[in-house]
Amino acid sequence: MTRETIFNVVLALFLLALPFAAMAMGEPFYVSLATRMAILALAAVGLNLALGFGGLVSFGHAAFFGIGGYAAGILASHAFNAEPLLFAIPGSDQMPVIWIVAALAAGFAAFLIGAVSLRTSGVYFIMITLAFAQMFYYFAISWPAYGGEDGLSITMRNGFPGLNTAVPVTFFLICYALLMAALLLLWRIRDSRFGAALQAARQNEVRVAAIGIAPYRIRLFAFVLSGMITGVAGALFADLNRFVSPSMMSWHMSGELIVLIILGGAGRLFGPVAGAILFVLLEFLLGGITERWQLFLGLILLGVVLFARGGLIGLVAGKPRHG
Amino acid sequence: MAEPILDIRNLTKSFGALKATDDVSIDLRDGEIHALIGPNGAGKTTLMHQISGSLKPGSGQIRFLGEDIGHLGVAERARRGLGRTFQISSLTPEFSALRNVMLAVQARQGSSFRFFREVMSDTSLTEPAMAALERVGLADRARIPAAELSHGERRQLEIAIALALGSRAFLLDEPMAGMGQEGSRALTSFLDRLRGEAPILLVEHDMDAVFALADRVSVLVYGRVIASGRVEEIRNDPAVRTAYLGEPA
């Protein structure tokens, strides 16, 4: 086993143990902290596929996160009020249904955004993804049917067949299981033919085209899948807070996801997990000391970018190995 | 006579007032090495870019295996069997030599939309890739990241990639550039054998290699073909001697 694998296992076990330790200490609040870590990690796992593996610095993933959140909020509110959506489709308060809708809606948005923005690269790509996300953000603000600027409450956390999702640890385990499933998927993809083409296109687009693989299609597919994963995370986030608002789509959120990945290690399988754990811990610990905790986050980020380019994973496990 | 593998007719490309390619017509026939020589700035690399598709032609026609490919993109031309190497090595630096070649094997097999099978344990990728590396003499460096290979080794790797693509014609842009004498000699004898597999359009500054290898030579000056013919004809052509070989007529 490589050092990276060992560290990955440690991270996975740490996150899993956290809520149980919290319960044992009689601090149930920490359970929701761990759940937050798992959900942000899942959102960042999605972004990592595009940003880390594909080198596509999307500054618009908050759009997918928010779309997932609104999918949960809108379906739940229709189910609660027993009002059908368009074309007499009923709402739903079942998580599996919500996740599928969230993934499809976010994937569709990612397809539209990606189809346009992947024709550009570099700074233009960053700016176009940002611009699209802001369009979704302002659309959510100006849509009174679902709360507009005030957001939309979810009266009761959505259910999962056979489980009581109102129990914090149960909900944590659902989020954790989805996180692990996404990591498993990304692990397979990373080492697959698709992953090889995607990572090669990041390293040298000209070369990839010269051997007969069109980078655009590879990237678009990665971008859509990336958006879908982040969308599911958004649905979970809405269920965690039992609330969804346009702020989930703001550029701060996009930035936060990028920061998570850089902290943890871009392009490393568990980079988003390490980043999310670190980020939520810092937010909690520093946030308890000062309201200006983001100043210190900024300093830490500066340190990582200057001295530890591979993020936390890079620091522990060294450079990535590509076989 | 059979139709040429690659047939370029009246190709023209202008950058503003500068004619980088001026009414160029050349062809490449089965089993031959056709060398393209000319002074720096003559438009040799521009022509290679146009043939491989990374530059859109101004006007003219490019036929490959009997079909007009002038409207196709780089990736599609490569899929049809145009294998090119770059004047400046262009590889995926983080990947090992083996994985660089495996990517070409994967491209040749045609499917990059496979998500689950691990490539390193897929012998349908690793074996042909290893075979290509062996042919260029890089087998013992297979696991080294491309970024850590020496200059000469990267040139060899470029050729291994072109081999693995199973190309029907090779476009080699200065494969000898920056190689030591030993390396050039080895590569010369390798290219000599390679022409039996697929014809080579060779841009090269190393005149020893050109005269040793080429069946035909075309001389490009200011984007124009000023002479084209067998090696002896070119060597004795007064216009070529003045324009390129630097001798008074």
pLDDT in tens, A166-196: 999 999 999 999 999 999 999 999 999 999 9
What's the domain range around A232?
35-263
Q: Please list the residues that pair with B13 across neighbouring strands.
A: B21
Q: Which residues of B touch A184 (CB under 8 A)?
A: none
Which is higher by pLDDT, A124 or B227?
Answer: A124
How far does B114 lie from chain A, in Å, by closest CA? 5
Asked if residue B112 and residue B2 are part of one domain, the reply reads no
How far does B76 lie from chain A, in Å, by closest CA? 6
Domain-located, residue A308 = no
Residue B90 has pLDDT above 90, yes or no: no
Domain-located, residue A185 = yes
Domain-located, residue A11 = no
Domain-located, residue A43 = yes
| Three-state secondary structure call for residue A204 | coil
Domain-located, residue A96 = yes
Residues from A in contact with B at Cβ < 8 Å: 188-189, 191-197, 199-200, 203-204, 206-214, 218, 221, 320, 322-323
**Distance of alpha carbon A177 from alpha carbon B226, whole angstroms:** 70
Asked if residue B115 and residue B1 are part of one domain, the reply reads no
What's the domain range around B153?
90-166
Asked if residue B232 and residue B157 are part of one domain, the reply reads no
Asked if residue B232 and residue B200 are part of one domain, the reply reads yes
Q: Which is it for the CA torsion A54, A55, A57, A62, positive or negative?
A: positive
User: Residue A155 gets which letter from DSSP?
Assistant: S
How far does B84 lie from chain A, in Å, by closest CA? 7
Query: Which of B166, B195, B224 represents a domain boundary (last residue)?
Result: B166
Average pLDDT over residues B100-117: 91
Query: Which of B124, B147, B166 represents a domain boundary (last residue)?
Result: B166
Burial of B118 (0-12, 13-18, 19+ CB in 10 A): middle
Q: How many domains does chain B have?
A: 2
Asked if residue B202 and residue B128 are part of one domain, the reply reads no
Q: CATH code at B16? A: 3.40.50.300
The model's confidence at residue B249, banded by pLDDT at 50, 70 and 90, is: very low
Cβ–Cβ gap B99/A322 under 8 Å: yes
Cβ–Cβ gap B119/A211 under 8 Å: no
Give, to the nearest 10 degrees, the angle between helix B97-109 and helix A193-203.
120
Average pLDDT over residues A95-109: 96
Q: Which residues of B touch A218 (CB under 8 A)?
A: 112
How much of chain A, in percent, has pLDDT values that exceed 90?
Answer: 72
Asked if residue B116 and residue B179 are part of one domain, the reply reads no
Asked if residue B49 and residue B7 are part of one domain, the reply reads yes
Domain-located, residue A253 = yes
Q: Is the ipTM of this complex over 0.90?
A: no
In the numeric block, the tokens 């390396």 are attached to B183
Cβ–Cβ gap B104/A323 under 8 Å: no
Asked if residue B217 and residue B202 are part of one domain, the reply reads yes
The residue type of A136 is F
Q: How many domains does chain A have?
A: 1
Which is higher by pLDDT, A78 or A54?
Answer: A54
Cβ–Cβ gap A322/B74 under 8 Å: no
Burial of A13 (0-12, 13-18, 19+ CB in 10 A): exposed
Question: What are the backbone angles phi and psi of residue A79, rounded to the nearest 5°?
Answer: -65, -40
Asked if residue B1 and residue B73 are part of one domain, the reply reads yes
Asked if residue B123 and residue B71 are part of one domain, the reply reads no
Domain-located, residue A141 = yes
Cβ–Cβ gap A204/B93 under 8 Å: yes
Domain-located, residue A138 = yes
- pLDDT for A79 equals 87
Asked if residue B206 and residue B187 are part of one domain, the reply reads yes
Mean pLDDT of chain A: 92
